[in-house]
Amino acid sequence: MKNKYRYLDNINFPSDIKKLKQSELKFLADDVREEMISAVSETGGHLGAGLGVVELTVALHYIFNTPNDKIIWDVGHQTYPHKILTGRKDRIRTLRKGKGLSGFTKRSESEYDPFGAAHSSTSISSALGIAVANKLSNKSDSVVAVIGDGAMSAGMAYEAMNNAGTSKTKMIVILNDNDMSIAKPVGAMRAYLAKILSGKIYFSLRETIKLIISAFSKRFSKKAGRAEDFLRSAVTGGTLFNSLGFYYVGPIDGHDIDSIVSVLKNVKEINYNGPILIHIKTKKGKGYKFAERSEDKFHGVSKFNVNTGVQEKSKSKIPSYTKVFADTLVKHAEKDSKIIGITAAMPSGTGIDIFGKKFPSRTFDVGIAEQHAVTFAAGLATEGYKPFAAIYSTFLQRAYDQVVHDVAIQSLPVRFAIDRAGLVGADGPTHAGSFDITYLATLPNFIVMAASDEAELVKMINTSVEINDKPSAFRYPRGNGTGINLPSIEEKLEIGKGRIIKDGKKIALINFGARLNECLIAKEKLSKKGIDPTIIDARFAKPLDENLLWQIAIDHEVLISIEEGSIGGFGSHVAQFLSDKKLLDSNLKYRSMILPDRFIDHDKPDLMYKFAGLDSNSIENKVLDTLNSKVVIKKTN
């Protein structure tokens, strides 16, 4: 990147931006945008959101004294320009690669990332916490939260605003509105009014009015206050935010860097004890024509050709697990009018968009509101409908109380399609599906399944359609299937029954989920050493196939369970069963292979599983170690 850009080449940290004239900032923004497009074309990642906030990012670091002043980016997928300007431009082409930069904000990565994020709608809460901490510590540093209109659809954002509005703590929230029609289109007059309303003159006038009216009756004071609020609301359209206790400024053009700088400067310097919301209008994908023309504005992309915008496509013709789920659900819905598809702002990621094209009246995208999605599904279930809540494992965590209270306790037949189960590669630990086996299988009244391949996924969907007396969940990984033929929608599973894949002797590998192929590879390696393990696909973590477990415990000396989940999951339930039945009191050895007790950084999935100790080599070594292990009890005095 050396000597490529007139301005960006000389910018390593925000302190360098402050050396520029304000008139030069737009040229720096152009450089940042070009570099971001170039970098993401090589790495893949989130493009559209970052392109929309280039001018805002430059302006924020120009006006505020980061890292002392804190900028909290909601979700974090729009922070690539921020990373370029905060000492990381030389590593920007390592985005989402092993040992490279995270695709989101990460505290351990940079002091300019004061709060880690990847799930949405956390910025206002965390910013308020930092602002209150500053207040308690008598610090005058500014705190800014940048949140998109999509993230504003989550209840947590409004909970935070409600709290902030009554806190009398100065903080700044920037609403980056690139889609939702919160206000009328932006014009030059609105930008001008925003500058005036955020300026010292207006605030001084406001304080003067307060001083004057204090000498008169309370009745006059109330009228004056109402008049001012009415005038400001009528001008800015900020009634909602005003009612939550925020001083509203905007909307302004988020790509007019001079307007942004003026407003940020005014808001930073003004002596106002309370939260301020600046509403900016931006265009997702701004400045790259292929992103601007794309329906999703290049939100998340694979590697692509900068000159044509054409993205690299998977060479595999094998359908993804997500598509298998969607296509199977469509087939069932063609026969059963009670089937409903629900997603929480991830229609394409979960395949509900495919379902929605066929059955728009039975498809519901509730926005970034997983809690609502679960209870909404529960309500549908009470009336005899068959809701399928398709939610990533990592996002379902956000609705756990609703899963427990509104679904499990009432034993309502909500079907949870849990996508992105297990490790997910470049998105890293924030998006890994590590905990759903544990947090669902621990609940009474739940059926928990995991697909070992795409054919098993179809059978699990078929089975869940007919479960009408309790909740059920089936989990499946990100990516393509194994390439096997798919069964018809008539093929179902017997609840709580596993299957023996290959018979063997002495050792049994009990797989739960998508590690089955690694178990089969390990079997081949072990057979060359004279070891012939039995391979079992458990299918169900709850209810367990107790008859099968009993039989293999009697017939084998070693049992090893394998799952793509944390402690407390399938293996813990197996251990509990073996203990309860006193099967561990004999010479039986039992081991469980789970995800390690740590968060695993982003990398290629196969390398992540190798690190996690869940690849075929690790399975082979676990078998050998268990066979050779001897229990030694040391006597103590």
The catalytic residue positions are: 284, 370, 398
Q: Of 278, 272, 275, 239, which is closest to residue 260 (Cα–Cα)?
A: 278
Tally of CB atoms within 10 A around 465: 23
Positive or negative torsion for Cα 288, 47, 40, 418: negative
DSSP secondary structure letters along 577-604:
HHHHTTGGGSS-EEEEE---SSPPPP--
Q: Record the tokens describing residue 404, joined without a space.
A: 């427990």
DSSP secondary structure letters along 432-487:
-B-SHHHHHHTSTT-EEEE-SSHHHHHHHHHHHHT--SS-EEEE--SSB---PPPP
Whether the CB-CB separation of 150 and 345 falls below 8 Å is answered with yes
Between CA 344 and CA 369 the distance in angstroms is 6
- Among left, alpha and beta (phi > 0; psi -120 to 50; other), residue 506 is left
Residue 132 corresponds to which amino acid?
V
Whether the CB-CB separation of 514 and 451 falls below 8 Å is answered with yes
Residue 410 corresponds to which amino acid?
Q
Between CA 364 and CA 455 the distance in angstroms is 27
Contact partners, residue 281, CB within 8 Å, separation at least 6 = 177, 178, 183, 185, 186, 251, 252, 253, 254
Q: Record the tokens describing residue 459, joined without a space.
A: 């059978």
